[in-house]
Structure 1
């Protein structure tokens, strides 16, 4: 068996201060804070850390206080054991975000998330509408709609969703046996610009994921169970996102046969939906477009 690579020195967001901030249930998150002005919280996706926001965060920090946490279970944040489905539910992870913002002195804040972070942001917008003033979700569908959209052979693009939905044991064992190949597969497949994620950042992503396989799997497992239950309850109750919402998304609808704008508008009456031409890692591949969209959202 090949030796496990040694962790690489982790890059940081230039000009940002780092601290550990309490989230929910005794969990603490690694958080980078920079800039001044009205607060904006940025949540990363898979298989990344808060570093994915390095370009956008620097631009927004010119006139906003920008808060970039590692989600629970990711990066340098705590990784509690999966003692029950609620530990990595998006409801719990959203409670982390609100607790972190309040600990930093922000009762109300704008929130943007990418991929997994977008699912957390979506749940925060539904559960904490008095705290979230503006909401942006990048390249994701709400959990309930995502599972409905995956069908037939086209659904093979989401093979990892089904793998990590399995009961504890096998998914963790399979992924840990080849962690760099597994997580690197998505970094290679989902991007269009191979230079958008430089070697040191890629190494930091792989180091972080290699050290967090059980918690990453638990996050995905929750999305095949408890998160669906929460979305179903909200849909049945007619609950929607009350704040201005922007969604930036690749055009997956043509391949998977859904209307992304219609699916999102059912949840977000105040929606502005934009189809982007960059790859999945849009905050790294096309940070100018993402920054412009967030500034437009904040002005609404």
Structure 2
């Protein structure tokens, strides 16, 4: 049996297209939704969620295509667009009784959170994005030999067929590579949770690839349209990142400021899986955001 977040209850919530979304819920008070990243599930938030649940209702969904959520077949570019996944997030929160809520996301979940902030500004009270750049900026800064760190972005951007076959042939080696290479403290992801992440990914290769494929296609279209309109995030925003800007030669704060009206940008010394490697730091930053 896969591990669970202790003292949280689990709910099955249908999205607009009928996809069933898995969500762990704990605590009481103002709602905070926490979205996981790649190659993980809602379990990555277990430490932060337990702390925030002392005075908030904390909702930790599995994104569509991941974990115990439904994995619809990719029938078009919108199936796994961040716009669709952002709408899923609002649907889950409303089904659990919360019309407005704070939202934090890591990695893929941060891209979903970013899109939710743009598409649903009346629902999102505060927004946190961990260790990503907005999609347009991400592709702009990836160039030259330094882009090798993002090889998976290019692999999964390919048309259906080849990426799924290649990854599906050795899923544990592929997904395990990121769990091993992106952490500075391997003990932060105990064997039980590493095994749960790998098992979840093993069963979700086509949907994970479809999620990434959307980020090389329709997600760019949506972000480009918002940039052209001058759409910006109107709620308080906190961004926490590794110092990728120094490594790849860009100003992360400036890139994020172009999308926001109220930005707090923080650089962490933790690895990519910062909610597990440095939960006290991430919880502190989220609590500071929740009081802004």
Shorter-chain TM-score tier = over 0.9
Match of 2:165 among 166, 173, 178: 173
Secondary structure of 1:85's aligned partner:
coil
Q: Corresponding residue for 2:100?
A: 108
Whole-angstrom CA distance in 2 between matches of 1:72 and 1:50 = 11
1:152 has 2:168 as partner:
no
Whole-angstrom CA distance in 1 between matches of 2:189 and 2:231 = 38
Q: Corresponding residue for 1:127?
A: 119
What is the correspondence of 1:42-57 to structure 2 with a 5 Å cutoff?
A: 42-57=34-49
Whole-angstrom CA distance in 1 between matches of 2:5 and 2:132 = 25
Q: CA deviation at 1:113?
A: 0.1
**Structure 2: which 5+ runs fail to align?**
none
Q: Check the 8 A contact 1:139/1:247 in 2, yes or no.
A: yes
1:195 has 2:200 as partner:
no
Match of 1:263 among 240, 255, 272: 255
Whole-angstrom CA distance in 2 between matches of 1:24 and 1:142 = 25
Secondary structure of 1:160's aligned partner:
helix
Secondary structure of 2:264's aligned partner:
strand
Whole-angstrom CA distance in 2 between matches of 1:255 and 1:166 = 26
Match of 2:284 among 279, 292, 298: 292
Moved more, 280-289 or 19-28: 19-28
Deviation string, structure 1 residues 172-229 (Cα, Å, up to 9, x no partner)? 0000000000000000000000100000000000000000000000000000000000
Secondary structure of 1:95's aligned partner:
helix
Q: Check the 8 A contact 1:24/1:92 in 2, yes or no.
A: no
Q: CA deviation at 1:269?
A: 1.8
Q: Check the 8 A contact 1:85/1:226 in 2, yes or no.
A: yes
Q: TM-score w.r.t. structure 1 length?
A: 0.97
Whole-angstrom CA distance in 1 between matches of 2:275 and 2:143 = 28
Q: Corresponding residue for 1:63?
A: 55
Count of aligned pairs between the two proteins: 292
Q: CA deviation at 1:26?
A: 1.1
Q: TM-score w.r.t. structure 2 length?
A: 1.00
1:93 has 2:85 as partner:
yes
Whole-angstrom CA distance in 1 between matches of 2:209 and 2:35 = 18
Q: Corresponding residue for 2:226?
A: 234
Q: Corresponding residue for 2:25?
A: 33
Secondary structure of 2:186's aligned partner:
coil
Whole-angstrom CA distance in 2 between matches of 1:43 and 1:255 = 26
Runs of 4+, deviation exceeding 4 Å: none
Secondary structure of 2:256's aligned partner:
helix
Whole-angstrom CA distance in 2 between matches of 1:21 and 1:66 = 15
Whole-angstrom CA distance in 2 between matches of 1:23 and 1:75 = 15
**Structure 1: which 5+ runs fail to align?**
1-8
Moved more, 197-206 or 25-34: 25-34
Whole-angstrom CA distance in 2 between matches of 1:268 and 1:192 = 30
Secondary structure of 1:68's aligned partner:
strand
Q: CA deviation at 1:24?
A: 2.6
Deviation string, structure 1 residues 230-265 (Cα, Å, up to 9, x no partner)? 000000000000000000000001121110000000
